[in-house]
Structure 1
Amino acid sequence: MTRAVLALRAPSANRVYTAAAGPLVLAEARWVLGAHLGPGVVVRERTVGGMHALEVRADETVDDERLDTLLGLLSSTYGLFEIAGDGLLRPLVASSPLRHPEDLETILKYPGKTNEQFTALLVNLAASLSTRRSGLLDGTLSLLDPMCGRGTTLNRAVRLGLSPIGADIDRKDVEAYRTFLTTWLRTHRYKHQISSASLTVRGEHLGTRTLAELAPDKAAQRAGLAQQVTVLGCDTARLGEVLADRSVDAIVADLPYGVQHGAHGGGGMQRSPLEVLRRAAGTWRSLLRDGGGIALAVNRHTLDHDAAREALAAAGLTVLTSDGAFRHRVDQSIDRDVLLAVPSNHPRLEQLAALDALQEETPT
């Protein structure tokens, strides 16, 4: 028997790129639900009483609770309703793995900050590609942001109960994130410890290592719910000298756009995202488990899809998404897209590659 659920889209969802909000969340839902739940789910856009929503129909092979949890985690879900046989809507309260207040993601504002809802989309997509994707729901997924800036992705991961790792060579950004996180933890009276030390490999100073341990209270600590956030202040291309091979389940990165943002490395600021990708992709692949997944945000004005695909292929990674699969305009200089990639020997490569075809479907 088919079950139907309606996911209302938040009115403010993707406010920077409102016109693309519907197609973005539709693509997100198809990738995430398809990867987690298989072919028993069909998703389409729908308008109810003037409100934008997703209608999801699932067959008897799909676990109801898992479906509701995943729908609740989509980047712009505002509310969930089950569609009864008579067409009436019954409110649903889905369990959520989010452990901490939302202001951990929203309170920090600065020029160039990635939209929090878009960050959630990236995390959901990268996790869905992993063979250990269920770790997104129980806090065991290992996530790396190799160009973390001031920590938007790290904060999303912490709210999910994960213990993420971030890296950035910009010392100001690393220190700004440490200051923010320390202040936030103190303000919310969390049990925490934060320490920083030199990051040295074979006698060479690479940068800094900041480690934060946190829990809402002593009870959470005793229950084993304490989390860690690791921030490495070093060149992303040298992370292989610091982290263990095949230790990461998901990688999320907002590549330099070549316009407003740059990336340090090779002795100076690099504003070419292609050069950054060529330098770093091999290292990222070495850290990623064979069953892992990558979600990369890129600017189409400065990084051609085919060139990015070639750079990732040279590192042993296969791009799954078509050119423009998540395309949306941020501003005049940024035409953003998302590249989803997995190791070329990923055990579910064929099944995941087939999900790209779903994006062209318009079920009735």
Structure 2
Amino acid sequence: MIPLEEARGRILEALRPTATETVALAEAWNRTLAQPVVARLTQPPADVSAMDGYAVRAADAVLGARLVVVGAAPAGHPFAGDVGAGQAVRIFTGGFVPPGADGILLQEDAEEAGGVVTVREAVAPQRWIRRRGLDFTTGDILLPAGRRLTARDIGLAAAANHPWLMVHRRPRIGILATGDEIALPGEPIPPGGIVSSNAHALAALVRAGGGDPLVLPIVADDRDAIAAAATASRGCDLLVTTGGASVGEHDLIQAALGRDGFALDFWKIAMRPGKPLIWGRLGATPVLGLPGNPVSALVCGVQFLLPALAVLSGLPPAAPRTILVRAGADLPANDRRFDHLRATLGTDSDSHITATPFPQQDSSMLANLARAEALILRPPLAPALPKGAEVPAIPLGQFGI
């Protein structure tokens, strides 16, 4: 068995980003930029008012002054003239500040009657004016290449006048569930069988990671059937299998793929849950063989599949983000396998984040995993820790899963 960190490193080193493509801005969310977003204009394009009121000369707008209103400047309709001595222009949020004006008299600090406005609060120079280029100017690099686009980024690119963006293609991920005993939800369950959850859960995980899942039909524990299904996945950027990765006589993934030239890199990781994990290559297609146990498959998905998707999407190699939390219960000493304790999050009396593991950690318990908000990480041979001790944890909410 190899260490978890070594296994992840070997997986990520073997992957390369997908090709680039140009997509409409509306389709670019959660994609990774292949080239920087450079501002095509200056924002704001001129000095604009930050509030509703009157554009004035600050030197004139002293307490009690009476100014003649000579026009208006609503957003999108600039005032054509200048503001002279003793004058004011009615202005609204986003309206261009006319030449000559250097301050905004707020409407709640003014009283207008008969075309004359009386100043009830003195105006300071540049008060309530957003200067030209306050946000960005033409040529500024606003978003770097290699950035996964958020909704905020989409808004920024739109403001910078980009209707199209160059991004990496979404990785295509083949998902192959194997086993005589499994059936899809809603289908007849074979004698001694169970309902398969892995294909659906992993497809959702792939979508959360920015990929496009291709869910292949379930195949029985038959070498020819497994090999045929794997062949159908050629052209995918990654093939993910579940089940058949262990050492039993019905665990056939390596044997079935080996006939088509499967090259094994490693098998078995010193982690719990998820020891029987396979990594290799079937021709040009990387293959990640996950355990059939549903909790093991998803924990391995967090530690290996999501980072793999990130690299394929054009992001730099990285482990899942961890945070330091306080243990919500006593933690026993760990053995030689890197453990992942399913836990809920909360806060203690000092407002520190706590993570409390479920009393039962059996790797078949999907209900606990669904309720879990974090995975407490226990390195190999970690000593026993009392309640309140600091421990690292992976917050599951960061993945949207």
Q: Same fold (TM over 0.5)?
A: no
Give 1 or 2: higher helix fraction. 1
Q: Which of these two proteins has the greater Rg computed from alpha carbons?
A: 2
Normalising by the residue count of structure 2, what TM-score does the alignment of the two structures yield? Answer: 0.28
